[in-house]
Amino acid sequence: MSAVDIISLSYPLYDLPQLLQAKPLSIAIGFFDGVHRGHQNVIRRAVQEAKAAGILSAVMTFDPHPKEVLGHGEQYYRCLTPLEEKTALFKELGVDLVLVMQFDIGFAAVTPQLFVEDVLRKLTARHVAVGFDFTFGHKGSGDTKMLQELCSGDIRVHIVDPLFDGEQKVSSTFIRESLEKGDVQKAKELLGRSYQVSGTVVHGDGRGRTIGYSTANVKAEQPYVMPKIGVYAITAVVDGERYMGVLNHGMKPTFQNGAPAPSLEAHLFHFDRDIYGETLEIEFQHYIRAEQKFGSVDELIAQINRDADKALQLLQDEARQG
């Protein structure tokens, strides 16, 4: 797979790099948090049009989330896919360029007309793909109809229809709601892949080994949307190898005396080596149960044994089914 070029932009666009002056562009535009199946349809449309026309394909995304800048709440600070992970997913979809537009108060004030004139036309866009509910410009005053009108003449616009799961539209909000319920299977259906959280393995309290279950304590380095507190069957990738495992996302109530803070503790099956300081990619596969406080360490160990057996059975059954 060829490398994808990442270009940071800020408004107004001055001194564009040579790469952006070499060929016209077919651009998919959106924040694309999650890069879910609906987003993938928009991006694939841009890639298909680029190939047919012999031009470059690009994704224009924004950093940070527009609603975070405009003060719509902390929920938008937490994301399904940090920028680095989004970029990797764009690459898998065959995109040539990733255009990361800095979203700040100045850019938020740009009118729809100026966005088309000073951004799209300056980038030599020949084709644009957006979702059906795309809005742009100051206070979201531009919609898909206005985009088509403003681009008329030299930029073709494709409005991609929504994708539905039953009667509900596939969306980043739907995925967030599914994760809040612990429904990681539904999130997987909507994303087209397992929901993933990456982090660094850090030292914990060392209690896992004393009860027969060594765990990797994972510190997420990015502000992910986290699934519901509880126990999960997971797969995890370390050094390019995938392992089955069981994970507790929670407060460790059996051992807490002070104010608890959520933690991610993963036990990987058939794995026993020191990975402190390394990156662990956790893929949530099945929700097993809610976290609970036990009356004794023996009760906790018995439950962990049951959780591990159930997680392994679920993962092995899934692997056999392909």
CA gap 55, 24 in Å, rounded: 6
Q: What is the pLDDT of residue 67?
A: 74
Q: How confident is the model at residue 21 (pLDDT cuts 50, 70, 90)?
A: confident
Instruction: Name the CATH superfamily housing domain 168-321.
Output: Riboflavin kinase-like (2.40.30.30)
Average pLDDT over residues 154-162: 98
Average pLDDT over residues 129-146: 96
Instruction: Please say whether the beta carbons of 12 and 90 come within 8 A.
Output: no
Q: Is the pLDDT of residue 301 over 60?
A: yes
Tokens coding 146: 């206005």
CB burial of residue 49 (10 Å; 0-12, 13-18, 19+): buried
Instruction: From the candidates 49, 68, 85, 265, give the one annotated as an active-site residue.
Output: 265
Which amino acid appears at position 234 of this protein? Answer: I
Q: What is the pLDDT of residue 209?
A: 61
CATH of domain 5-162: 3.40.50.620
Average pLDDT over residues 302-312: 96
- Phi and psi at 193, nearest 5°, equal -165, 165
In the annotation, is 265 catalytic?
yes
DSSP state of 161: P
CA gap 48, 137 in Å, rounded: 26
**Higher-pLDDT residue of 15, 100:** 100
Q: Which of 54-68, 153-167, 198-212, 290-304 is predicted least confidently?
A: 198-212
Q: Which residue is associated with the tokens 């959280």?
A: 197
Percent of the chain scoring above 90 in pLDDT: 80
232-252: b (≥16 Cβ within 10 Å) or e: bbbbbebeeeebbbbbbbbbb
Q: How many CB atoms lie within 10 A of CB 121?
A: 14
Q: How confident is the model at residue 66 (pLDDT cuts 50, 70, 90)?
A: confident
Helix/strand/coil percent split, the chain, to 5: 35, 30, 40
Percent of the chain scoring above 70 in pLDDT: 92
Average pLDDT over residues 80-89: 95
Q: Phi-psi bin for 266: left (phi > 0), alpha (psi -120 to 50), beta?
A: beta
Q: What is the pLDDT of residue 258?
A: 46
Q: How confident is the model at residue 73 (pLDDT cuts 50, 70, 90)?
A: low
DSSP state of 142: B
3-state class (DSSP) for residue 111: coil
Q: What is the pLDDT of residues 243-266, one digit of tens each?
A: 999 999 997 654 444 444 578 999
Beta bridge partners of residue 216, listed in sequence order: 266
CA gap 50, 251 in Å, rounded: 49
Average pLDDT over residues 25-40: 98
- Could you give the C-alpha distances from 79 to 172, 222, 224, 227, 275, in angstroms and in order? 9, 8, 5, 12, 26
For the chain, how big is the Rg over CA atoms in Å? Answer: 22
Tokens coding 218: 């994972």
Mean pLDDT for the chain?
92
Q: How confident is the model at residue 75 (pLDDT cuts 50, 70, 90)?
A: low
E strands present in the chain: 5-9, 25-29, 56-63, 97-102, 125-131, 156-160, 164-165, 168-169, 195-202, 216-220, 230-238, 241-250, 263-268, 279-289
Q: Is the pLDDT of residue 318 over 60?
A: yes
Name which of 241, 245, 248, 218 is nearest 233 in CA terms: 245
Average pLDDT over residues 39-59: 98
Q: What is the pLDDT of residue 96?
A: 97
Q: What is the pLDDT of residue 208?
A: 57
Cα angle value 272/188/101 (rounded, 5°):
100
Q: How confident is the model at residue 6 (pLDDT cuts 50, 70, 90)?
A: very high
Q: Which of 1-15, 142-156, 250-264, 297-311 is predicted least confidently?
A: 250-264
Name which of 289, 276, 210, 204 is nearest 246 in CA terms: 289
Q: What is the pLDDT of residues 214-244, one digit of tens each?
A: 899 999 989 999 999 999 999 999 999 999 9
Q: How confident is the model at residue 272 (pLDDT cuts 50, 70, 90)?
A: confident
Residue extents of the structural domains in the chain: 5-162, 168-321
Please tell me if the domain spanning 5-162 has the same topology as the one spanning 168-321: no
